[in-house]
Structure 1
């Protein structure tokens, strides 16, 4: 399977072998003009919520593509979920972080307006920015052939971030922290009980997370951790931490 196309989220993907799935709109246009799919070639179509069907193309036109289903895969969502809280950053550094995190298997993304964020979203710009991130996530999920398209939440400030992550295990990436991320254990509590809480990774902007923000996050029960001796850019810190978690959770 070298390519994945996504049906509109309101569409229903047939579950039976031999059914025909019709891909339309921009996805069909992309398949025909960019990927140059032809009758007889194999590809996959997913719903972005865990279901992927593989099959052979039986009709390929500029606006529609039909796929005869040969295999059906229903993937459970990984547990615990890993959510990236990415502070807004200048240039395309936050977008790069979101793209790479999606390719690495993140379960959700939340844009954060941190105190030291150079980039500022407000009003229509916030709406446009969130939609831009959702587009990046969708394309990255397709490129990496992921069963799930991670949701991108609305822009949050610090109080909203703390409120929305209540009940989660929050890990704040901070270069000055004394505890390494690699020293933590996952999957069980200190008492030996199963721990399936969502893991929330908080990544600051170029100037780092402010002392006031660190204090508030600490009061909310967040754990402050570091990756290593090097100070990573905001574009690479989150993906690096997700890679560490993938190993710790046995996903890699």
Structure 2
């Protein structure tokens, strides 16, 4: 009996005749790791909302071809949530990509703050971005999320704020904070999560002057990755009620 598995193929690689060749890495994983056989059903996600039910028609070491049986377009996630997160030290940035993708983050931007402990500002990002994208693809396949988040190059907070729009919220330890649920009247929300120790006074003041609203996730101090995942989960769960 054939089994169903998930794979990934971006729209730019789709062929019009309904016979698709999966990428080399995807093909190798399916044929050598999962030992996929001809006739197996494969659910192919394209990262742009497309979910394609396919059947394997050719299996080789680095080449798997599938025939598209049915394609559907998933509804876009509402609200659209964009996260700007101060880069934490170590590999914690990469560790948060998976749960944020599983929860349906729309875009993810690493922020260089005054207290950034992670990657240095002069670092070349091309290889890092490729790895981050691969992690997001794996999370999409595991969770079934057909929307691949847009993971951007690191930015300064001021640059992020210029493009974030009016519905922007900044995590704060201040006692004068609003509820994050108030942001859900709009369909797009930008959320800023600060570094270990919080934003500097200058950074928080800049965000508020640019129209951002401060919010809190509770009385306790959260790690960067905990705050990012919690804020996204709050936005998603409140909208579904």
Where in structure 2 are the equivalents of 1:1-252 lying within 5 Å?
3-8=5-10, 10-12=12-14, 14=16, 19-165=18-164, 167-179=165-177, 181=179, 183-184=181-182, 186-187=184-185, 195-196=186-187, 198-250=188-240
Figure out how many residues of one structure are paired with residues of the other and give that number: 239
Q: CA deviation at 1:7?
A: 1.7
Contact 1:13–1:47 under 8 Å retained in 2: no
The answer on whether the counterparts of 1:121 and 1:129 sit within 8 Å (CA) in structure 2 is no
The 1:21–1:130 alpha-carbon spacing in structure 2 relative to 1, beyond 3 Å, is closer
Moved over 4 A (4+): none
How far the C-alpha of 1:51 sits from its partner, in A, is: 1.2
Which protein has the bigger helix share?
Answer: 2
Deviation at 1:103, TM superposition (A): 1.0
Q: 1:29/1:248 Cα in 2 relative to 1: closer, same or farther (>3 Å)? A: same
8 A contact 2:14–2:20 mirrored in 1: no
What is the TM-score of this pair, normalised by structure 2?
A: 0.89
Post-superposition CA distance 1:167-192 (Å, at most 9, x none):
241111123343353552522xxxxx
In the TM superposition, residue 204 of structure 1 has moved relative to its aligned partner by 1.0
RMSD over aligned Cα atoms: 2.2
Report the CA distance shift for 1:26/1:147 in structure 2 as closer, same or farther (over 3 A).
same
Post-superposition offset of 1:124: 4.1
Q: 1:65 to 1:172 in 2, by over 3 A?
A: same
Structure 1 contact 54–71 (Cα < 8 Å) conserved: yes
Distance 1:53 1:158 in 2: 38
In structure 2, relative to structure 1, the CA distance for the partners of 1:230 and 1:13 (3 Å cut) is farther
Structure 1 length-normalised TM: 0.85
Range with greater deviation from structure 2 (129-138 or 47-56):
129-138
Unmatched runs of 5 consecutive residues or more in structure 2 = none
Which ranges of structure 1 fall in alignment gaps of 5 or more residues? 188-194
Distance 1:2 1:179, change over 3 A: farther
